[in-house]
Structure 1
Amino acid sequence: MKTPRPQPAQSVTAPRTISRVVPDPTALKALAHPVRLRMLGMLRVDGPATATQLAVRLGLNSGATSYHLRQLAQYGFIEEAPHASRRDRWWRASHELTSVPASEVEGETLDLDLAFNQAILSLQVGQMQQALEEYAELPAEWRKASTASDIIIPMTAEQAEALTKRLTDIILEAMRVAPPLGELAPPDVVPFSIMLHAFPYPGRLPHREGDGEP
C-alpha cells in the first residue's frame, strides 16, 4: 500500500513559534546516546517514520530500534504520529529544537552536560565529514552558500555571551520564517545545517582549583 505523499509546505512569511524542549537531567542522560540522537535528528529533518524504516537507515535490527524509540518517547522527545497505515506504528519528533542551557553548577549536572556535548560533537563531526565528501558534487549556488570559518576575537566573558546570544537570535529568526522541518518543502528549499561552536581558546584560562596536574 502506497503512502500518500504530503503536499509541499506553503512559503512562510509571518514568523512562527518554534517548538522546543528543555530536558531535565534524567531526560538529558537518556538523550545523550549516539543512536537516539541520530534517530531524533532523522525524525526532525525527514518527518515521521516507522521503527523498520529507521532500522534500515541506521543499520540496526528492528528490536534495538524499537527500544531506543521507546526511550525517546518515554522522555517526551518523540510521539506517535497519525498515519493511514494501521499495520505499523509511526513516530514523529515532538519538538523542533532541544535547548540545553550551560551548566552553572558543579557535580553530576555538569557531568551530564559534558556527556551530552560530547555525544553531540561526535555526531556533528560525522555530519561535517559527510558534507565535505559531498561538497564537490554540490550545485555552485550551494557551494557559495556553505562556509567553514574559524574566527578568534579577544573578548571578556560578558562580551562573548552577548555575541553568542546575538548569533543564536539571528539563526532562530531565520528558522521562524522558514517552513517547518519534516514537511515537504518547495523544490529549491533543503535543510541547511548551521553548527554554532563558541568557546575560550583552549589553554588560555586557568584550571579550576583542584583540576589539572598536581
Structure 2
Amino acid sequence: MATGKSRRIKDLDTLKALGHPLRMKLYRALKVTGTATASQLADQVDEAVSLVSYHLRKLAAHGLIEEAATGGGDARERWWRPADAMISTRDEDFRDAPERAAVHAAVSRMHARQQGEMYESYLDTQSAWPGDWRNVAFSSEFMLSLTPEELRRLGDELNEVIGMWRARGQAARESGDVEGRENVAVHTYGFPFRT
C-alpha cells in the first residue's frame, strides 16, 4: 500500500465512484492481492479487461487506487494498488443534504450486500474447505447495551485489533511466509436498534 493510513471518504463524488458494484469488487480484490493488473483483476471478477480498465481508472481518478511499480511480467501493463491501508465512510459526513444521505445509504447497502454474498459463498463451499479451516471459521452476533461513546470506543478497539492482525499477515506475505495462509474476511457492524 502507498500509506499505512486510513482515509475517511467525505466527498460525494468519491463516494459515488466507489459506489459502483464492480468498482467495489475491484477495490476489494486489490486489497487482497496488494497489486494487480487489469487483466489479472478481470479474471478474478469475470469481466472484460477493457471494462475493468475503465473502472480502475475511475477509482484512480478519485485517489482510491494508484499505479504501483511493475510487478513483473509484461511491462506494458499497468499495475495498481490501493492508495490507503483502509477506507471508511461515516453517516455524519453525508447527512447535511438529502441527496448526499441517499447516496451514502445506497453505497452502505451495496457494501453490506456484497459482504453478505461473500459469507454466503463461503457457506456454499464450506464442505470443500479442510477441517482445520472449517473448525475455526466463525459467525457471531452480540447484543450489547452501550452509550454512543462506548460504541465509538468499541469500534476503535476492534479496528485496532484488526489492524494488528492485518499488519501480521502483510509482514508474513512480504517475507514469503505464506504456507497455510488463506485470505480471511472479517465483517463487523455496530449499530443501534430497538425491539
Greater length-normalized contact order (CA 8 Å, ≥ 6 residues apart): 1
Kept in 1, the 8 Å contact 2:65–2:81? The answer is yes
Q: 2:54 matched to 1:67? A: yes
Classify the secondary structure of the residue corresponding to 2:77: coil
Alignment of 1:30-41 (within 5 A): 30-41=17-28
**CA-atom RMSD in angstroms:** 2.4
Q: 2:15 matched to 1:19? A: no
Classify the secondary structure of the residue corresponding to 1:91: strand
**Structure-2 change in CA distance of 1:180 and 1:156 (3 Å):** same
Unaligned runs of 5+ in 1: 1-16, 205-214
Alignment of 1:98-113 (within 5 A): 98-103=87-92, 105-107=95-97, 108-113=99-104
How high is the sequence identity, in percent, across the aligned residues?
27
Kept in 1, the 8 Å contact 2:17–2:58? The answer is yes
Kept in 2, the 8 Å contact 1:32–1:116? The answer is yes
Match of 1:122 in 2: 113
Structure 1 residue 180: Cα displacement:
5.3
Q: Which amino acid aligns with 1:99?
A: S
Kept in 1, the 8 Å contact 2:65–2:80? The answer is yes
**Structure-2 change in CA distance of 1:165 and 1:47 (3 Å):** closer
Distance (whole Å) between structure 2 residues aligned to residue 19 and residue 177 of structure 1: 16
Match of 2:125 in 1: 134
Match of 2:67 in 1: 80
Alignment of 1:1-12 (within 5 A): none
Structure 1 residue 55: Cα displacement:
2.2
Match of 2:178 in 1: 186
Kept in 1, the 8 Å contact 2:6–2:87? The answer is yes
96-105 vs 23-32, which deviates more?
Answer: 96-105
Q: 2:82 matched to 1:93? A: yes
Q: Which amino acid aligns with 1:106?
A: D
Structure 1 residue 42: Cα displacement:
0.9
**How many residue pairs were aligned?**
187
Unaligned runs of 5+ in 2: none
Match of 2:168 in 1: 177
Q: 2:145 matched to 1:154? A: yes
Q: Deviation per CA, 1:58-90, whole angstroms, max 9, x where unpaired?
A: 222222211101101101111222224223222
Classify the secondary structure of the residue corresponding to 2:50: helix
Classify the secondary structure of the residue corresponding to 2:128: coil
Kept in 2, the 8 Å contact 1:79–1:93? The answer is yes
Distance (whole Å) between structure 2 residues aligned to residue 173 and residue 100 of structure 1: 21
Of the three residues 38, 42, 50, the one matched with 1:51 is 38
Larger Rg: 1
Structure 1 residue 120: Cα displacement:
0.7
Structure 1 residue 48: Cα displacement:
2.3
Tell me which protein shows more helix as a share of its residues: 2
